[in-house]
Amino acid sequence: MDFTFSEEQQAAAEAARAVFSGVSPDGVPSPVLSRGPVAEDFDRALWRRLAAADLLSLTAGTRHGGAGLGPVALCLVLREAGQVLARVPLLEAGATALALTTHGGAAGARILPALGRGELVVTVASNGRTGHDAAELSVAARPAAGEGGGRVLDGVQTAVPWAPSADLIVVPACDADGRTVLGLVPRDHPGVALERQVSTNGERYAEVRLDAVRLDGTRIVDAEGVWPRLRALLTAGTCALALGVGTAVCRMTSAYTSKREQFGFPLATFQAVAVQAADRYVDLRAMEATLWQAAWRLETGAGGALPADADLAVAKVWASEGVRRAVQTAQHLHGGFGADTGYALHRYHAWAKQLELSLGPAAAHEEALGDLLAAHAPEGY
């Protein structure tokens, strides 16, 4: 079997690496735990560079001016973003573009060109224990009479990333028949109210309240399977960001322990340090293998004994646990530097905790995996 990435996928990763080469994680705001400042906006200059490099249109269809690439390319780019803690809604933009290219119809065609050019900033309200529990979406949709498939949305979504700066918020909402539709809600639409929140990594989030928000049919996506698809892409992308964070942290730890000396020898030469570093290397390789397996299943639709959701659950378990262990070991091996809030490792730890819990912690995905195994067990088990 050929496990190498295609030329187009490698080109996307190289382009991302070039754009992010000048980004320093020291430029991000201090997390709320250190009571430092909270940025009022995302990195607009970086956003423009991503648009100029055609990375915002990477997953949009060619008919919408995009490259038409899939989840694997998106995750390659997000891995690079995670290594520098890129403060841009790249995950939300890429996942939305990919989902709307496939399921968006006229609504997707209307926004995808502007999204790819960086003129439209999109985020996703993906709240919920695992990001897909219908009972936890907290937003209901009812028909809007005489509006060609329009809906009226009521409810609350909490911890919506980048919402204070986004132009458009993609809101999953439960219809009366139990289906989940997507509402493409402008941030300044009548009936939309934002309550300020701050995330673990020190970014501005928001609680989004929808009070009889009326959307016409051009702002509703009700294609079958659109929300599970979008949720799956967000989950895979979160795993890719976690892999990037873990990779950068392990690189920082390797450099530090190679130079820092105790008793006349570099820390890296001590067996106890080497064993811990080896364990984190195993974590990274497991995070990587499970991520690409899940992304490949999403991209190809290849079948298996279990649905692709099982691969996503395994990937998120490894991402959550692996990135947590990576930053904890890094802080331990850095000694006093690991607790210094002015050192970049502190911010990596805050981002790791945010990614660990985003779209559900490891325990939630282990439970989901158990449900899938039980549902698809051979007869007699």
- HEC string of 67-114? CCCCHHHHHHHHHHHHHCCCCCCHHHHHHHHHHHHHHCHHHHHHHHHH
- What 3-state DSSP class applies to 115? helix
Provide the token pair at 50: 């991503």
Q: Dump strand ranges (E) for the chain.
A: 122-124, 139-143, 151-161, 168-174, 180-186, 192-198, 204-215, 220-221, 261-262, 265-266
Q: Which residue has the tokens 């809600």?
A: 185
Residue 381 vs residue 111, higher pLDDT: 111
Residue 218 vs residue 30, higher pLDDT: 218
pLDDT at position 352: 96
Beta strands 168-174 and 180-186: pairing type? antiparallel
Cβ atoms of 144 and 153 closer than 8 Å = no
At the top level of CATH, which class does the domain 7-120 belong to? Answer: mainly alpha
Quick one: what percent of the chain has pLDDT higher than 70?
93
Residue 105 vs residue 18, higher pLDDT: 18
End-to-end CA separation in angstroms for the chain:
32
Q: Is the pLDDT assigned to residue 184 strictly greater than 90?
A: yes
Residues 278 and 283: their CA atoms lie apart, in Å, by 9
Q: Is the pLDDT assigned to residue 39 strictly greater than 80?
A: no
Q: Is 65 left (phi over 0), alpha (psi -120 to 50) or beta?
A: left
Q: In which element (H, E) is residue 30 found?
A: none
Q: Which residue has the tokens 């673990």?
A: 200
- Give domain limits for the chain: 7-120, 124-221, 226-375
Could you read off the pLDDT of 62-121 as tens digits, one per residue? 999 999 999 999 999 999 999 999 999 999 999 999 999 999 888 888 999 999 999 999
Q: What is the pTM of this model?
A: 0.94
Residues 356 and 101: their CA atoms lie apart, in Å, by 28
CA neighbor of 129 nearest in space, from 208, 206, 223, 231: 231
pLDDT band, residue 130 (cuts 50/70/90): low
Regarding the domain delimited by 226-375, which CATH topology (the fold level of the hierarchy) does it fall under? Butyryl-CoA Dehydrogenase, subunit A; domain 3 (1.20.140)
Residues 270 and 251: their CA atoms lie apart, in Å, by 18
Among positive and negative, which fits the CA dihedral 319, 349, 95, 16?
Answer: negative
Q: Is the pLDDT assigned to residue 31 strictly greater than 50?
A: no
pLDDT band, residue 28 (cuts 50/70/90): very low
pLDDT band, residue 202 (cuts 50/70/90): confident
pLDDT band, residue 136 (cuts 50/70/90): low
Cβ atoms of 248 and 209 closer than 8 Å = no
Q: Is the pLDDT assigned to residue 207 strictly greater than 50?
A: yes
Q: Is the pLDDT assigned to residue 346 strictly greater than 80?
A: yes
Average pLDDT over residues 254-266: 86
Residue 36 vs residue 322, higher pLDDT: 322
Q: Is the pLDDT assigned to residue 36 strictly greater than 70?
A: no
Provide the token pair at 212: 């009889």
pLDDT at position 267: 84
pLDDT at position 26: 60
Q: Is the pLDDT assigned to residue 358 strictly greater than 70?
A: yes
pLDDT at position 27: 47
| CATH architecture of the region 124-221 | Beta Barrel (2.40)
Could you read off the pLDDT of 239-252 as tens digits, one per residue? 999 999 999 999 99
Cβ atoms of 372 and 307 closer than 8 Å = yes
Cβ atoms of 103 and 225 closer than 8 Å = yes
Q: Mean pLDDT over all residues of the chain? A: 90
